[in-house]
Chain A
């Protein structure tokens, strides 16, 4: 009897861990699955109207944040009833799992991972589904690199770039310029003079070639700068975490440690010279570019660069008047309206 119980215990555990393949075609689907590629099992959550056959794939920022953050009540209520939202955690982020795979972190690997995720979406819901990709911040570089590689753009119906970066050198210089001009303007208005003076002095002292340390410092100032603008809709990441961490079952500790690892991994230094501006002429699918007026991290100038370089017949650049780097959370109503409009017209 004792032996039976001892044998039964691990058996129950293994049975519990076996997952029946679940593919839901419905107006309110919710499926989690994992895409394995080169020693990483990447979490993919598909929520919403899979019966619509229109899928919007979020390629999150970072490197190192997570797609869990985009799965908000507002998006659920305003987009998921019409389309399927795909929340993909890139390798070494969020709920993605693996062992010793840090050496695999490089841009080409991320691009290959994105391709594999789309392959699996089509395997599960059919080759005839319409897939749109949305790159936010660092996701802008992954999505633009994906589109200019081989014939990858044939796999998707449209590209949405939200506060996205596609050219690090240009990004750093635009960020420095925007901090400088806005800073001087704010100082002349007598607003947050002490904080802006520090930023302006740093920007003036670092004109010209921007190395990794300067780039990181500018990035830090750019994140802080949003707090010194009165017209901006505030976004509190800690409140966001409080509201959704338990509800959406965030794996909080792995998310945090993954973020710390990925955002400081060596490959970040290699990205300093990466750009896709010179290859954007290859892009001919519909493009929607969305940037925050007060985004100092990825200024709207990046969107103007993309807009001027892509060959797409259908392209538009939209500026969020009350947003910084997170228009998706700062002005969710405008975000959802723009997405709905774009998907409706190009699916």
Chain B
């Protein structure tokens, strides 16, 4: 009986101890966060940002294609961070809305032409390297990869050299790029991107097509957009 009571007490102590550790860790994290971001400032201005034309070679798995489009800037967040060591880091977070038209050719299966609108979240370091994430929606028109024979009830056959289907489309992609204008006069950015296109209703289900793009953006005109400048300083 005594042993049972002792074991129960031990168990209760262990649980209390675990609870205390969790609370302590949570307090440390909260406190360090609050203390380390010492100062934070932000202001907004209206600036001229680049609207880009893009052209890319595209592959749907191994099937070749092409994509062209236009990126319109929505806003730029210029984030200036001062690290604990005193080193300064500058990050550009930009938002674009992009429209594009693409095509790929899968021999004897289908040609697929699609048009989509994407919302781009891009994060560029001061060295010109950037990463991006882009969800999108669009429409797709497939062209069946061969002559199509339509048989009628009376036994006659219609031959169609062009036959296709319309599909709704959503896409999700991510990529990396490099701003070449950092080191040359050309306002060009090279990039590569992996996107998954989901077309539906494809045979009452979904057709998923992963695509890889390798291309370039060229800044073709300047448009007005908002620029937010933020500074963050970490105190030692």
Contact = CB atoms under 8 A, between A and B. Distances in A.
Q: Do A and B come from one complex?
A: yes
Interface of A: 9-10, 13-14, 16-22, 32-37, 40-41, 43, 45, 91-92, 95-103, 116, 119-120, 123-124, 246, 249, 251-254, 257-258, 260-261
B146 A261 contact: no
A173 B219 CA distance: 70
A177 to B, nearest CB: 36
Interface stretch (B42-50, B72-80, B105-113): B105-113
A124 B105 CA distance: 26
A101 B203 contact: yes
A10 B204 CA distance: 28
Max count, chain A CB within 10 A of own CB: residue among B106, B110, B203, B204: B203
A95 B111 contact: no
Contacts of A9: 68, 101
Interface of B: 61-62, 68, 101, 103, 105-111, 113, 142-151, 155, 157, 159-167, 201-210
Interface of B is mostly: strand
A98 B203 contact: yes
A62 B146 CA distance: 24
B149 A123 contact: yes
Max count, chain A CB within 10 A of own CB: residue among B110, B111, B161, B205: B205
B159 A13 contact: no
A14 B208 CA distance: 23
B192 to A, nearest CB: 21
B148 A33 contact: yes
B109 A249 contact: yes
B146 A120 contact: no
A36 B68 CA distance: 32
Contacts of A10: 113
A14 B203 contact: no
Contacts of A37: 150-151
A254 B202 contact: yes
A214 B142 CA distance: 40
A98 B161 contact: no
Contacts of B105: 16
